[in-house]
Chain A
């Protein structure tokens, strides 16, 4: 199995609180992504990174920020969680040259 892990796997939080999700890889892949998956919408890109300290926004970035201070870690932060951010969050990694991609197991976040 590819070395990509997400933590936590499940989280319940209250509206207005900050939340940070972590994606860790051991593959040394350049690209890392955060997606959210919602019924009827499929996978939608929140933010992605193409290298350490190099990040860019996706189609649903409002309310989210990211950081990548090391190749292996990509953090997704909800500055002030809202109920609309209740979702399943997936991290993915991609190898630059081959395009090989792996996905994490997902984090189920519930904002109450």
Chain B
């Protein structure tokens, strides 16, 4: 069983749609990270959360510590948002547990 589970695995959306990607974890964490990877590209850190909610532009990340659940929302999606989004949990030993990623395609 994976310590971090993401859903959905694949997601196709029309430009302008509101998108939600979910992440559940089973380990004790010190932080939850959302990462973005464009095809053939590097991995970019979007958010690091330990509680509550963070917003950056059209991206919003939330975490519910009691339910061990985090969500990444994209408002007014755009084709340039097409990428793989990876949820990762870190424990107090700075060890990472990665989800398998959500492949997002936004169609113009």
The proximity string for B residues 74-108 relative to A, scoring 1 for CB distances below 8 Å and 0 otherwise, is: 00000000000010101000111011110000000
Q: Is B27 an interface residue (CB 8 A)?
A: no
Most buried by B among A42, A48, A90: A42
Chain B: interface residue total (CB-CB under 8 A): 21
A31-B45 contact in complex given A42-B101, A99-B30, C-beta closer than 8 Å: no
Q: Report the bound CA distance from A99 to B29 in whole Å.
A: 11
Question: Please, which residue of chain B has its CB at the minimum distance from the CB of A41?
Answer: B100
Interface SS, A side: strand
Residues of A within 8 A of B98 (CB): 42-43
Closest to A100 in B: B48
Evaluate whether A96 and B94 lie within 8 angstroms (CB atoms) in the complex, with A43-B86, A90-B43, A103-B43 already known: yes
CB pair A103–B35 under 8 Å, yes or no, is yes
Residues of B within 8 A of A98 (CB): 48
Nearest-CB distance from B97 to chain A (Å)?
10
Expressed in whole angstroms, the minimum distance between the Cβ of B13 and any Cβ of chain A is 22
Q: Which 4 residue pairs are nearest across A and B when measured between Cβ atoms?
A: A105-B42, A103-B43, A99-B31, A42-B100
Give me the interface of B with A, judged by CB distance under 8 Å.
30-31, 33, 35, 41-45, 48, 50, 86, 88, 90, 94-96, 98-101
Given A100-B48, A103-B35, 7 more pairs with CB closer than 8 A: A42-B99, A90-B43, A94-B90, A98-B48, A99-B50, A102-B45, A104-B43
